[in-house]
Structure 1
């Protein structure tokens, strides 16, 4: 009987993704001082960069996001919002787009490329996610009434979402620095982690 050898590069990438996804839980439980200081952006960029097969670059980060979302909904919010939060499919679509940003902008892992991708991913998340909030009838936090269905309402949605984008950007930069830096260092130390079609 033969057993298939586990690819060490894939195993390490998977462990990185799972470990960082688990870091979403303290943020969701408000154990950290910054709302939306999340590794989601870094997870998408990391997966898009290092998994060479496109389906793995999308599917594995998506599965880790899904698993951590289920845990957060079940154990942090005690099912208050059901199995998944409202509009989750939009966030997942944006997350898939972020994996493509990792694939497109980080052909070679350098500080400049990772910074550019992190900023692009954060701005993309802000613009698209807040547009869906406005489109879905989000609340104007000044009046606690629905946002107006015009340019002023969309502007207000982006303005009130800006602090969350700033924290999302900070989280993406910090977690990207840790993930990309650690994996690149490990690649130097262990040649089995070099590129071999995972």
Structure 2
């Protein structure tokens, strides 16, 4: 019986993460705001909801990798490291998910992602000195703002939607001993 509960939960969580990952393709079809996707929210959500830590990291990373293939994005190690840190922020709130913990985890995750991916030495167009680092962070601030706003909206949809699914389908809820 427990295996069936976990299997249903796994399938629903994975499906939600895959749907959220599809928001990365929005620029191909409709104009959108840069960094306004569900990527950060899905990382926090996966970390908080998958009980198996390996799956918490693996499922969203695979969703990112598959979407990168379809979008023709090259592999950027900094983006994946930032994404891994965001999953870890979700793991940090596992078992104590609340609107406040989700918000704090999302903001912390977005800031870590910003700091990692905007480090000037990663990009050849910024000078590789302290001025270049500062310039990179200043130029990245609008992207950070967009990511925080998107994480708030998509996080509400993911966490709120899954909460409602758990209420409507109790088999999806975790069995706590």
Q: TM-score, normalised by structure 2?
A: 0.90
Counterpart Cα distance in 2 of 1:99 and 1:109: 14
Counterpart Cα distance in 2 of 1:137 and 1:180: 34
Given that 1:105 and 1:116 are in contact with CA atoms closer than 8 Å, whether structure 2 keeps it comes out as no
Q: TM-score, normalised by structure 1?
A: 0.81
Match of 1:88 among 54, 60, 76: 76
| Structure 1, unaligned runs of 5 or more | 74-83, 140-146
Q: Residue 182 of structure 1 aligns with which residue?
A: 161
Q: How far is 1:183 from its partner?
A: 0.3
Counterpart Cα distance in 2 of 1:106 and 1:175: 18
Given that 1:106 and 1:117 are in contact with CA atoms closer than 8 Å, whether structure 2 keeps it comes out as no
Counterpart Cα distance in 1 of 2:47 and 2:153: 17
Q: Residue 104 of structure 1 aligns with which residue?
A: 92
Extract structure 1 runs of 4+ deviating beyond 4 A. none
Aligned residues, how many? Answer: 173
Q: Residue 30 of structure 2 aligns with which residue?
A: 31
Counterpart Cα distance in 1 of 2:130 and 2:70: 37
Counterpart Cα distance in 2 of 1:172 and 1:69: 20
Given that 1:38 and 1:168 are in contact with CA atoms closer than 8 Å, whether structure 2 keeps it comes out as yes
Q: Let me know the Cα RMSD of the aligned residues.
A: 1.9
